[in-house]
């Protein structure tokens, strides 16, 4: 069976998950007042996506569910947000959003650079993205499984011939004709019939 864990589908699944991870972290960084330049610029974002895709390639080598996808997205949010925060100069709005200080609706202590409100926002975004990605993952694997069961001969045998109204067959030698008894009549397996006296 051709699966989404091989070839182009595997690469696309890995790319979509990497873009989701970096996109959520970048979006959260910008929404919290982070500088869109520097670490969150286009080239830096592309590099972060590529570096995120490398470890995700192993993760996408099999079908994943909601919990696994959410765990990866949440972990990526923490790591990438900290990288964006460390590499970019923080604006006053970003510092206030991170610590829950003045000008921010959130109050509380910062954990790894996250205020309680920012942490909830990142996790909420990761939950929504994980729900969408896991549904897409399930749909892709289901679709390919249905195709594999519906047309097994076409996917597995390269020399298969399919004609309408018949089962798929592989070209081969012609079938042998039945042996005949006398005068060209086909031989039957029934006992001989006795003539009436």
End-to-end C-alpha distance for the chain, whole angstroms:
66
41: helix, strand or coil: coil
Give Cα 132 distance to the centre of its chain.
Answer: 10
Q: What is the pLDDT of residue 67?
A: 94
- Predicted confidence at residue 28, as pLDDT, reads 78
Q: Which residue stretches of the chain are H helix?
A: 7-31, 42-59, 66-87, 92-99, 116-150, 152-156
The pLDDT score that the predictor gives to residue 14 is 92
How crowded is residue 37: how many other Cβ atoms within 10 Å of its Cβ? 11
- Report the alpha-carbon distance of residue 77 to residue 74 in Å, rounded: 5
Domain boundaries along the sequence of the chain? 7-155
Q: What is the mean pLDDT of each run of 10 residues along the chain (197 residues)?
A: 77 92 84 64 82 90 92 89 71 51 44 71 89 93 84 58 51 59 62 71
The CA distance from 44 to 24, in Å, is 15
| Residue 35 near residue 90 (C-beta atoms within 8 A) | yes
Rg (CA), the chain: 31
């Amino acid at each position: 069976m051709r699966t989404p864990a091989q070839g182009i589908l595997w690469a696309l699944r890995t790319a979509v998950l990497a873009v989701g991870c970096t996109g959520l972290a970048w979006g959260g960084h910008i929404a919290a007042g982070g500088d869109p330049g520097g670490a969150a610029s286009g080239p830096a974002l592309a590099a972060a996506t590529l570096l995120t895709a490398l470890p995700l390639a192993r993760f996408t080598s099999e079908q994943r569910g909601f919990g696994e996808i959410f765990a990866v997205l949440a972990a990526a949010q923490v790591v990438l947000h900290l990288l964006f925060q460390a590499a970019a100069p923080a604006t006053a709005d970003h510092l206030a959003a991170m610590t829950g200080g003045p000008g921010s609706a959130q109050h509380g202590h910062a954990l790894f650079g996250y205020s309680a409100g920012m942490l909830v926002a990142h996790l909420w975004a990761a939950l929504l993205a994980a729900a969408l990605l896991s549904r897409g993952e399930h749909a892709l694997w289901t679709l390919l499984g249905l195709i594999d069961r519906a047309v097994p001969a076409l996917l597995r045998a390269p020399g298969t011939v399919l004609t309408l109204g018949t089962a798929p067959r592989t070209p081969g030698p012609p079938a042998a004709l039945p042996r005949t008894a006398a005068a060209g009549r086909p031989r039957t397996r029934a006992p001989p019939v006795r003539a009436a006296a």
